[in-house]
């Protein structure tokens, strides 16, 4: 058999094997449905409280969210809950006053304590928390409480909220690392874990204020655990709800500054060097004069121009006046003991110039720029007096 026949035979065998394998796989393979998890949607990634919003809407509440307190004037306080779940370190005292007035008018305010109480300075970095006179500390700094009636708490890491006419408490998953204190005994209700307090409620005018140590229990991964979702509904029941947190993404400049600070510094330095290189000069460039042409008069003129630009007209005039005074003191040692009028008479007699001209030349001048003609006239007059001495 020649080479071509071997190739044809080999191709037929391969084709038969492929057909047989396909038939075998067709009868053996079993199709089944499969779900592919592509992760959270872009909306869920941008809004960590999206599940909480959907849950509250299912309970019949009207829910919205905002990025700043600019929305406050448009919110009716009566039967409205405002949940401050984002950072508040940039809040101003004026915004806090507006927020407290809104709550006093009947609003329900819930916010997260964001700073620890500093005993040395008597305040924290959270102006709103200080305004409601509550303190936040670390739970590890607390002493372990004695067991109640000798019974051990079966869930010391969970926060328990006891309600009237209920046999068992509601359990919430607050972060147990922080503790709320009420030094003024203002709280009307609270919820504790095995060691610390994580939620307090205070009355404020017609409204109420709820302070919690954290709000992570209401974010998407944790809201379906324990009674976290129920607690959020319980705190906002029978009200419209506005969740206030920042959902804006970082700008390009913010990302560059965070991840490429050295590159930005180098870019700014390069721009500064470029601007310095192409910057406008103070005057036109002049070709250097050959050394053979430089004369004493040119040097004197150049020196005078430099002094005029650097020190100004008044400095040159004062220099001439001082030179005149030095010369007249040498000729008349008692010159400084004379009155101004007598000094001018003496100068008139020594130089042969009228006293009026001497008065104009030697009197202190106002700090204002003279015209070229006036400046030249003053210089010429002073030089005449100096040369006469």
Q: Are residues 81 and 163 in the same domain?
A: yes
Q: Are residues 227 and 340 in the same domain?
A: no
Q: Are residues 84 and 212 in the same domain?
A: yes
Q: Are residues 235 and 300 in the same domain?
A: no
Name the residue range of residue 379's domain. Answer: 295-388
Q: Are residues 96 and 226 in the same domain?
A: yes
CATH number at residue 119: 3.40.50
Distances 83 to 101, 129, 206, 232, 249 between C-alpha atoms, Å: 16, 14, 17, 10, 20
- 251 lies in some domain: no
Could you give the number of structural domains in the chain?
2
Query: 244, 268, 284 — which closes off a domain?
Result: 244
Q: Are residues 379 and 308 in the same domain?
A: yes
Q: What are 313-321's contacts with CB under 8 Å, separation 24+?
A: 313/369, 313/370, 313/375, 314/365, 314/367, 316/379, 317/365, 317/375, 317/378, 317/379, 317/382, 320/379, 320/382, 320/383, 320/386, 321/361, 321/362, 321/382
- 24 lies in some domain: no
pLDDT value at residue 281:
59
Q: Are residues 132 and 239 in the same domain?
A: yes
99: helix, strand or coil: helix
- 353 lies in some domain: yes
Contact yes or no for 228/172 (Cβ under 8 A): yes
Q: Are residues 312 and 378 in the same domain?
A: yes
Q: Are residues 194 and 50 in the same domain?
A: yes
Distances 97 to 88, 117, 192 between C-alpha atoms, Å: 14, 21, 29
- Quote the tokens at residue 156: 């010391």
Q: Map tokens 């700073």 to a residue.
A: 115
Q: Are residues 75 and 178 in the same domain?
A: yes
Q: Are residues 128 and 64 in the same domain?
A: yes
- Quote the tokens at residue 182: 């009420």
- 163 lies in some domain: yes
- Quote the tokens at residue 183: 């030094």
Contact yes or no for 223/46 (Cβ under 8 A): no
**pTM, to two decimals:** 0.56
Q: Are residues 198 and 320 in the same domain?
A: no
Average pLDDT, 10 consecutive residues per value, the chain (389 residues) = 70 82 76 71 78 91 88 91 88 91 94 92 90 93 67 83 85 92 91 92 94 92 90 92 71 73 86 78 62 58 60 69 78 77 76 76 68 74 74
């Amino acid at each position: 058999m020649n080479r071509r026949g071997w190739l044809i035979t080999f191709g037929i065998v391969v084709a038969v094997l492929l057909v047989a394998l396909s038939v075998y796989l067709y009868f053996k393979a079993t199709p089944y449905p499969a779900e592919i998890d592509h992760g959270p949607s872009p909306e869920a990634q941008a809004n960590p409280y999206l599940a909480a919003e959907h849950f509250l809407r299912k309970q019949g509440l009207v829910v919205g969210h905002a990025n700043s307190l600019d929305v406050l004037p448009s919110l009716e306080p009566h039967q409205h809950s405002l949940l401050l779940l984002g950072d508040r370190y940039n809040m101003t005292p004026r915004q806090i006053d507006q927020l407290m007035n809104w709550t006093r008018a009947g609003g329900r305010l819930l916010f997260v304590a964001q700073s620890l109480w500093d005993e040395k300075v008597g305040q924290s970095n959270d102006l709103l928390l200080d305004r409601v006179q509550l303190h936040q500390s670390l739970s590890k700094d607390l002493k372990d409480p004695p067991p109640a009636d000798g019974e051990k708490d079966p869930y010391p890491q969970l926060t328990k909220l006891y309600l009237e006419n209920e046999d068992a408490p509601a359990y919430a998953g607050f972060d147990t690392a922080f503790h709320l204190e009420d030094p003024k005994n203002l709280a009307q209700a609270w919820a504790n874990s095995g060691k610390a307090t994580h939620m307090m409620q205070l009355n404020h005018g017609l409204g109420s204020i709820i302070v919690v140590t954290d709000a992570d229990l209401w974010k998407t991964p944790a809201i379906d655990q324990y009674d976290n979702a129920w607690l959020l509904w319980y705190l906002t029941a029978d009200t419209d709800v506005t969740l206030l947190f920042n959902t804006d993404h970082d700008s390009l400049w913010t990302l560059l500054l965070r991840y490429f600070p050295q590159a930005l510094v180098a870019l700014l330095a390069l721009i500064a060097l470029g601007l310095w290189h192409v910057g406008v000069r103070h005057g036109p460039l002049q070709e250097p004069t050959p050394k053979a042409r430089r004369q004493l008069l040119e040097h004197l003129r150049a020196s005078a121009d430099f002094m005029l630009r650097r020190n100004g007209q008044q400095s040159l005039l004062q220099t001439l006046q001082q030179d005149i005074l030095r010369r007249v003191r040498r000729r008349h040692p008692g010159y400084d003991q004379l009155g101004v009028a007598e000094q001018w008479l003496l100068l008139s007699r020594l130089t042969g110039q009228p006293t009026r001209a001497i008065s104009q030349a030697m009197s202190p001048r106002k700090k204002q720029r003279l015209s070229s003609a006036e400046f030249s006239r003053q210089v010429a007059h002073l030089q005449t007096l100096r040369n006469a001495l």
